[in-house]
Amino acid sequence: MAAAVQTRQVISPTAKETFHFINDPADAISDALTGLTHLHPNLSYIPHHKILYRSDLQSFRSSNHVTTIGFSGGGHEPMFGGFVGSNFLSAYVSGNVFASPTAAQIFKAIKLCQPRGGDEGSGGEARGTLVVCGNYTGDILNAGLAITRAQAAGYNVRFVPVGDDVAVGRKKGGKVGRRGLSGHLIALKCACALAERGESLERVASVMEVVAANVGTVGVAFDRVALPNATLTDLQSLPPATIELGMGAHGEPGLRQIHPIPSPQDLTHQMIDLLVDTSDADRAFIPFSASSFSGVENSAAEEKDNQVVLVLNSLGSTSDEVLARFAELAVRDLEKRGFVVKRLTLGPLVTSLKMSGFGITVWRLPAKLDRGKEAGQSMDRNMALDLWDSRVDCVAWRQ
């Protein structure tokens, strides 16, 4: 494995990248978000702060609803802009490509989402705002600054960063924790549905945390992706006929390089192993019980935690046809281990520009025995699936 790392090639900094269909790279994010407002009539955009929000936000925030904000660097579209709308996010704040938005941007979005606070002294009592991002240092720091300022100004805010990458084990992650991939989007689907139903901020945030704690993701890719700045700078390329298992959403090093490229079935098996193997103390993040790995009789299935939601995500250039093939293999592999796939979603959800790769996400649904232990109040399996199935009105969610 070490030898494979040593054979990485570094492309000359003067090499030109010509495969991004954009105008000025500095305007790429704003151009994209402006385009979404033409695609969907219920979206509005503030270019200076790169904030996309639902056009009915003023009435929604003033009618006893918790508001929700997702933020990230650009280049991961459709996350989160494609998920702003009814029954999903209230607003999205974008940074530049692969760069966190500033604290000022995030604070502006919080003020936009609440009818009262330090700078807005009129209107009804705010239910509060949930702010969510992936677990990355820049995002955490800027969110901390923004939320501290917002709370000092009288705004009611909860912050939930999410890390779900199982390729980053406990030893490597340390206090920093796992990287965020697509787990926050899975948890937001449920939390935002609760917010639409008028639940409290505490309840919405608690469900967000519970779902995120039961989600794991692993990705794989053929190579890193170039930023759309017309120049490749210190871009490390994988050797021929090699893939990297566990590569991060920004091209961060993964768990291991694999050469030659395994068959789709073998690759799927390795990825599912990383997600559900409870014997791997360093990476067993999804809290399955040991009984999930043996055959489960139908009569006992409702008392087991072997039911899951499965998501296959394109990292940019992987087609639906390829995802569908891996989805079939993943379902088959999980079923052989005693799991039951209750829902399946695939498509481009959280991308890395045009990276050639994909990710598999598994969400462990609550068992009946979990009732009352999590989320402050009961959230049994039926409720979890009901939240997941809630219809949304946004650009990118497939339902």
Phi-psi region of 64 (alpha: psi -120 to 50; beta: other; left: phi over 0): left
Structure-block tokens of residue 373: 């232990």
Give the type of residue at 121. G
Q: From residue 269, how far is each of 105, 111, 135, 231, 263 by CA, in Å?
A: 42, 46, 27, 37, 10
The span from the CA of 109 to the CA of 71, in Å, is 10
Whether a cis peptide bond, with omega within 30° of 0, leads into 78 is yes
The span from the CA of 189 to the CA of 345, in Å, is 12
Q: Has 76 been annotated as catalytic?
A: no
The span from the CA of 344 to the CA of 191, in Å, is 19
- Of the candidates 184, 250, 259, 269, the residue annotated as catalytic is 250
Helix, strand, or coil here: 213? coil
β-bridge partners, 357? 221
Is residue 163 a contact partner of residue 218, using CB atoms and an 8 Å limit?
no
> Of 68, 190, 88, which Cα lies nearest the Cα of 132?
68
Residue 49 CB neighbours (<10 A): 18
Q: What H or E segment, with its residue span, contains residue 32?
A: helix 28-39
Q: Give every CB contact of residue 380 below 8 A, 6+ residues apart in sequence.
A: 366, 368, 370, 371
Q: How many residues does the chain have?
A: 399
Helix, strand, or coil here: 43? strand
The span from the CA of 392 to the CA of 85, in Å, is 7
Q: From residue 82, how far is each of 59, 161, 211, 322 by CA, in Å?
A: 21, 19, 21, 22
Q: Are strands 91-97 and 67-74 parallel, antiparallel or unpaired?
A: parallel
Which residues have a catalytic role annotated? 250
